[in-house]
Structure 1
Amino acid sequence: MTSVTRFLLDRASEPRLETPAPPRQIIDVAFQCAARAPDHALLRPWRYLVVEGDARHALGELFARACNDNASEQELEKARRAPLRAPMVIVGIATPKSHPKVPEVEQLMSAAAGMSFLGLALRDAGYGVMWRTGGVAYHPEVLDGLGLEPGESVVGFLYTGKVSANKPPVPRPDTGDFVKVWRGPGCQESW
């Protein structure tokens, strides 16, 4: 087994993150890795926003405004504190372009692959990451507040920082639970 395979098998989301955030030189390399995501026709259908420092409070206010009208003060406060769970939040944005041979869904998958590569690169540099979405990723007020253009969408919020506490390992599924051998139309066999 190669070190890359071992690295991937050990990958985990880390919900407990603290300062420091990754420095600029680490983030730059991680973004270079994100730009290596599969990208049919080299459309580069993604962009990123880095949120840190006091801007995390502004992001929390956007999250609170995305809560429904019946939200309790406790729910609003939870939304406000969400971006403070890490010293840095990277917003992944899908920016699909019109192309005769590359449907939008392929471009969204490219943006998602870029987020995954970004997270793996940060983890390799010694930082923890947690990819989050939820209703705030799709709420028009959040999209507008982040400056998204029509047709753009949030792929996710990648929280990053130093891991503050180890968590127990997450059980992983058996490959036989999600892999079959296809032998032709209507014929699938167990892996």
Structure 2
Amino acid sequence: MDIQTIETKSERLLVIVEDDAILSRTLGRSFERRGYKVLLASNLEDLEVVLHQHKPDYAVVDLKLNDNASGLDCIKKLHARHDGMLIVVLTGFASIGTAVEAIKLGACHYLAKPSNTDDIEAAFGHVAGQTLNVTERQTTSIKTLEWEHIHDVLAQTGFNVSEAARRLGMHRRTLARKIEKKRIQ
């Protein structure tokens, strides 16, 4: 008798539509450390390619993309593909009009930048009819921000500790000690 293992944990697939490559990578890595599989798109065309190959359950969309493109078009595309998708809009240009339009198009929440991974996950878990007060959120600690920056630089350098230390302006041994304290994923 052949016994097969069945994986019960479902994969949390997230697409991030953000034209700022550094923010996109940093946010992506932060979500990956939380157990999400992350797909990145920098514009509507990239998003269409991603949606052709995958069916994400979560999305983080920047409202204003390069070339004056609108994240609202991305929300339409995402919602048309999977109407149960949880979509959070991030913007540095918050306004009531765009917030209302984003919600009408299918976004579950609208957050002003800067918002961290905790804020976005809270917005995904937001239950309709309840108020999510992001002004009372816990801010990300300096240590967490420092680690996320270190991890991003390490990834950019192909995890070359010497080069990462040079780019971070710290001694190689100092960086090595920080890495030892926290395992790289």
TM-score by length of 2: 0.22
- The answer to which structure, 1 or 2, has the higher relative contact order (CA under 8 A, 6+ apart) is 1
Relative to its length, the structure with more strand (as a share) is 1
